[in-house]
């Protein structure tokens, strides 16, 4: 069993969205976290996107965790166990992967750390279910078919919930929130 998995899921469900934050400056990450809380958004992810695997993301997570402890802070675009290990050490409360990478998922599960792997197909959903993960990041949701795709997935996977991202914006977020299998919406639009 993954420690705090249900707690993190519940916090995400009540967070008013998961803000995608792309900054390498800890001071900026703290300002963004405080601004999000003022808007009622209680969860954010720091994206690891530097091809050299060092971009300041660790420091951003650490700064937010220390300065804004009421913010649920996660690490995203985690593509390998090395980045997962760094994010956990920096103080992330959960991991989001870009796609379904078995080695990253295994690492997080072995560490009993909350992980929400990225999926886009039924096959990837079933791989995640083998690890007893029932909440997944659906990416890129808009290109996959949006709310219609989510409705289709609810048939064969009634107990799976999704963090939806990739084409979610201020105009369509409410439509996604109405889907019974959406845990929360995610996107950079929440930072605006």
Mean pLDDT of the chain: 95
Q: Compute the average pLDDT of residues 36-51.
A: 91
What pLDDT sits at residue 67? Answer: 98
Q: How far apart are CA 115 and CA 127, in angstroms?
A: 14
What pLDDT sits at residue 111? Answer: 95
Q: How far apart are CA 172 and CA 175, in angstroms?
A: 5
- 54: pLDDT strictly greater than 80: no
Name the active-site residue from 3, 9, 39, 45.
45
pLDDT in tens, 140-168: 999 999 999 999 999 999 999 999 999 99
Q: Is 137 a catalytic residue?
A: yes
**Nearest of 57, 100, 110, 64 to residue 80 by alpha carbon:** 100
Percent above pLDDT 70 for the chain:
97
Q: Compute the average pLDDT of residues 47-57.
A: 74
Percent above pLDDT 90 for the chain:
91
**What does DSSP assign to residue 99?**
S
| CA 129 and chain centroid, separation | 17
Contact 75, 90 (CB under 8 A): yes
**Nearest of 142, 187, 185, 133 to residue 160 by alpha carbon:** 133
Q: Is 132 a catalytic residue?
A: no
Q: Compute the average pLDDT of residues 129-140.
A: 97
Q: How far apart are CA 37 and CA 73, in angstroms?
A: 12
Q: Taking the model in full, what pTM does it have? A: 0.94
pLDDT in tens, 107-125: 999 999 999 999 999 999 9
Name the active-site residue from 34, 110, 111, 137.
137
Per-residue pLDDT band at 55 (split at 50, 70, 90): confident
Q: Compute the average pLDDT of residues 67-83.
A: 96
Q: How far apart are CA 52 and CA 70, in angstroms?
A: 31
């Amino acid at each position: 069993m993954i420690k705090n998995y249900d707690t993190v899921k519940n916090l995400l469900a009540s967070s008013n969205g998961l803000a995608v934050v792309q900054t390498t400056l800890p001071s900026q990450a703290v300002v963004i976290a405080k601004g999000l809380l003022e808007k009622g958004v209680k969860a954010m992810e720091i994206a690891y996107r530097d091809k050299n695997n060092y971009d300041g993301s660790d420091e951003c997570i650490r700064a937010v965790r220390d300065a804004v402890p009421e913010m649920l802070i996660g690490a995203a675009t985690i593509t390998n166990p090395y980045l997962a290990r760094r994010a956990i050490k920096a103080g992330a409360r959960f991991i989001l992967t870009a796609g379904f990478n078995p080695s990253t998922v295994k690492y997080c599960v072995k560490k009993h750390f909350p992980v929400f792997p990225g999926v886009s197909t039924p096959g990837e959903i079933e791989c995640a279910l083998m690890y007893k993960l029932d909440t997944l990041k659906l990416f890129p949701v808009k290109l996959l078919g949006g709310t219609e795709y989510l409705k289709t997935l609810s048939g064969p996977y009634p107990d799976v919930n999704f963090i939806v991202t990739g084409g979610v914006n201020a105009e369509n977020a409410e439509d996604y929130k109405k889907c019974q299998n959406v845990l929360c919406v995610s996107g950079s639009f929440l930072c605006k």
